[in-house]
């Protein structure tokens, strides 16, 4: 399908919303910010000097611009097109072992000086009540530029081309007999970040991430039943090439066929099953049960407002058998295509890779410069992030992935050794307790396995387990050929809430003797 501007206007009843552009502009050179009056280095000098004069032992300033663009369609119509841009700065200071933070959208010398004073005043006021003084592990001075690895900047792609892509997906899904509705959308985010610290770091970064998606619905009007199948592919830390490198059109048609197939699928019989979980599904189980439970601020009870704390505690480090001996989880802020991939975090610590679970044993935490001392570590793992210039940066999840088998085991080989089981694709509804321990997960499509063969579709499937029971039940991993890197675009945490994008790579994996229930009964 092709679309002209005339057809675009005819097809859509949309509202195009744009925010007024701020005085800040982004220059043609990646990672370089300019303004009409001053440069970032000058502003940083002012902020850091004011903080030092106020008694700060450490300070940093982030001067950021954010662009967001999203498009949504339904069947043959455009539902919305939205663009937004905002910029500003935030200053963080450490005085008497206590943090102070203040921010402003007015990026000027006078305002930077004033806001630095406010941040210092807040730190001093808070220090009266702070009995646990903050200490920072050292960080090497970092000076440089970094950008997401991409071929085509999505913000240089026309709205017409983006709409055409979505409507083509819709057309493919609607070509399947029995499909009644299809919604599709995409969102792109660009973070243009300048960070300066009192340790001497001066960093510029240009981050891109995007997430196309769709949902297909088939209806059996005679039975009064409907079934949906959402896209399996998730967000990616890459450019517009993601719409070309992945077969979105093919998957949209497949989704239509599977939505229709779910209408006639056999309801699952509750009981014990072996599960073979595809990466499009397993990544979310990793995120909720492993990613959140290994955030050190949750374990220390620093974070409890949003989704609770953790069953893990520092004394379990290097002791707890988190999973079977084939289970290895690696945190990695350098992984190509990862949604949480960066050059440096928001306090100048470089992106890095480290073990979270090694040979099934829990060995590592997600840390920042102020968290590391609590577990006796001398350096930060670089997990500090604020989702806006006016957000207080705090610990956020890195890309955290399950390593594939050293042998290139195929999915078919994992299935072949299953007598009674279910294969699950895609993320569905889920629930997990406040300590990231007891959970229940659904999915998008469910396939019955009997005597090593996939027989047909099931419906109304969910499984229940406990985190350590589940990962200790893992007895088979696919190899590199089964490995994918899905991710979640909006991981909420904190209060006020902030959003983080993060990826969780994994191969296809097999789990023995898991409780399965019928969600319709």
Domain boundaries along the sequence of the chain: 5-159+188-214, 266-518
The interaxial angle of helices 159-174 and 248-263, nearest 10 deg, is: 30
Q: What is the pLDDT of residue 33?
A: 38
3-class SS at 146?
strand
Q: What is the pLDDT of residue 521?
A: 84
C-beta of residue 315 within 8 angstroms of C-beta of residue 299: no
Residue range 441-462, pLDDT digits in tens: 999 999 999 999 999 999 999 9
Residue 517 has pLDDT above 80, yes or no: yes
20 versus 197: the higher-pLDDT residue is 197
**How many angstroms separate the CA atoms of 63 and 110, rounded?**
15
Residue range 226-270, pLDDT digits in tens: 999 999 999 999 999 999 999 999 999 999 999 999 999 999 999
Q: How many residues are listed for the chain in this entry?
A: 521
**Token pair for residue 332?**
């990695």
* Closest of 53, 72, 50 to residue 61, by C-alpha: 50
Residue 195 has pLDDT above 50, yes or no: yes
**How many angstroms separate the CA atoms of 337 and 351, rounded?**
14
Segment (H or E) for 243: helix 242-245
pLDDT range class, residue 321, cuts 50, 70, 90:
very high
| Mean pLDDT lowest among 2-16, 88-102, 321-335 | 2-16
Q: What is the pLDDT of residue 273?
A: 98
**Token pair for residue 39?**
């440069």
User: Could you tell me the pTM of the whole model?
Assistant: 0.92
- Sheet containing 329-332, strands listed edge to edge, beginning at the edge strand earlier in sequence: 361-362, 353-358, 329-332, 400-402
pLDDT range class, residue 306, cuts 50, 70, 90:
confident
**In the block, residue with structure tokens 């700065």:** 89
Let me know if 53 is exposed, middle or buried by CB neighbors in 10 A (0-12, 13-18, 19+): exposed
Q: What is the DSSP string of 39-57?
A: -HHHHHHHHHHHHHHTT-S
Residue 386 has pLDDT above 90, yes or no: yes
What integer best gives the mean pLDDT of the chain?
A: 93
Residue 57 has pLDDT above 60, yes or no: yes
**In the block, residue with structure tokens 């026309």:** 158
Specify the fold of 5-159+188-214. Answer: PmbA/TldD fold (3.30.2290)
**In the block, residue with structure tokens 């050059």:** 343
CA angle 313, 314, 319 (to 5 degrees): 90
Q: Cβ neighbours of residue 256 under 8 Å, at least 6 residues apart?
A: 172, 173, 174, 175, 176, 178, 179, 182, 216, 218, 229
DSSP at 366: B
Segment (H or E) for 422: strand 420-425
Residue 3 has pLDDT above 90, yes or no: no
C-beta of residue 516 within 8 angstroms of C-beta of residue 277: no
**How many angstroms separate the CA atoms of 17 and 71, rounded?**
11
Mean pLDDT of 41-69: 98
Q: What is the pLDDT of residue 305?
A: 82
Residue 122 has pLDDT above 70, yes or no: yes
Mean pLDDT of 384-410: 98
Within 10 Å of residue 339's Cβ, how many Cβ atoms?
A: 30
Within 10 Å of residue 305's Cβ, how many Cβ atoms?
A: 10
Q: How far apart are the first and last CA of the chain?
A: 43
pLDDT range class, residue 4, cuts 50, 70, 90:
very low
pLDDT range class, residue 38, cuts 50, 70, 90:
low
Residue range 361-383, pLDDT digits in tens: 999 999 999 999 999 999 999 99
CA dihedral for 292, 356, 296, 205, sign (positive or negative): negative
Residue 371: strand pairing partners: none
C-beta of residue 444 within 8 angstroms of C-beta of residue 458: no
Q: Parallel, antiparallel, or unpaired for β 487-493 and 498-503?
A: antiparallel
Residue 18 has pLDDT above 80, yes or no: no
Q: Cβ neighbours of residue 37 under 8 Å, at least 6 residues apart?
A: 108, 109
Residue 1 has pLDDT above 80, yes or no: no
**Token pair for residue 82?**
């939205």
């Amino acid at each position: 399908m092709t679309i002209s501007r005339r057809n675009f206007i005819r097809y859509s009843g949309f509202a195009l919303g744009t925010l007024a552009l701020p005085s800040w502009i982004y220059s043609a050179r990646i990672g370089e910010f300019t303004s009409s009056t001053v440069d970032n280095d000058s502003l940083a000098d002012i902020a850091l000097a004011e903080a030092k004069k106020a008694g700060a032992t450490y300070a940093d300033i982030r001067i950021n611009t954010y662009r967001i663009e999203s498009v949504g369609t339904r069947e043959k119509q455009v539902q919305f097109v939205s663009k937004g841009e905002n910029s500003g700065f935030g200053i963080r200071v450490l005085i008497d072992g206590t943090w102070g933070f203040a921010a402003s959208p007015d990026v000027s010398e006078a305002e930077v000086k004033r806001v630095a004073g406010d941040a210092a005043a807040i730190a001093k006021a808070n220090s009266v009540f702070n009995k646990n003084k903050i200490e920072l592990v050292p960080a090497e001075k970092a000076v440089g530029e970094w950008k997401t690895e991409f071929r085509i900047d999505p913000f240089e792609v026309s709205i017409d081309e983006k709409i055409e892509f979505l409507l083509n997906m819709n057309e493919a899904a609607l070509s399947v007999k029995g499909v009644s509705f299809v919604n599709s959308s995409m969102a792109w985010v660009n973070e243009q970040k300048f960070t300066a610290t009192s340790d001497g770091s001066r960093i510029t970064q240009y981050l891109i991430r995007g997430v196309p998606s769709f949902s297909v619905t088939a209806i059996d009007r005679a039975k009064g039943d409907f079934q949906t199948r959402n896209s399996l592919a998730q967000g990616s830390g890459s450019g517009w090439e993601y719409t070309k490198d992945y077969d979105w059109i093919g998957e949209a048609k497949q989704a239509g066929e599977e939505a229709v197939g779910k209408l006639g699928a056999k309801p699952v019989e509750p009981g014990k099953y072996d599960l073979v979980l595809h990466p499009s599904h397993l990544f979310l189980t990793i995120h909720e049960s492993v990613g959140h439970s290994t955030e050190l601020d949750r374990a220390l009870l620093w974070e409890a407002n949003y989704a609770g704390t953790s069953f893990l505690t520092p004394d379990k480090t290097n002791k707890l058998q988190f999973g079977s001996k084939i289970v290895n989880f690696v945190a990695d802020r350098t992984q190509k295509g990862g949604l949480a991939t960066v050059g440096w975090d928001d306090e100048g610590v470089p992106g890095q890779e480290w073990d979270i679970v090694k040979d099934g044993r829990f060995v590592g935490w997600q840390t920042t410069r102020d968290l590391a001392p609590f577990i006796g570590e001398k350096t930060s793992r670089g997990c500090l992030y604020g989702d806006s210039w006016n957000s207080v940066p705090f610990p956020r999840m890195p890309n955290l992935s399950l390593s594939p088998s050293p042998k290139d085991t195929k999915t078919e080989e994992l299935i072949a050794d299953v007598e009674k089981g279910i294969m699950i694709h895609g993320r569905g509804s889920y629930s997990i307790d406040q300590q990231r321990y007891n959970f229940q997960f659904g999915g998008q499509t469910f396939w019955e396995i009997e005597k090593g063969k996939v027989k047909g579709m099931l419906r109304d499937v969910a499984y229940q387990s406990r985190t350590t029971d589940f990962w200790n039940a893992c007895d088979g991993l696919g190899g590199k050929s089964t490995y994918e890197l899905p991710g979640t675009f909006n991981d909420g945490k904190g209060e006020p809430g902030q959003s983080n994008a993060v990826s969780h790579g994994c191969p296809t994996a097999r789990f023995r003797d898991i409780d399965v229930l019928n969600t319709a009964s």
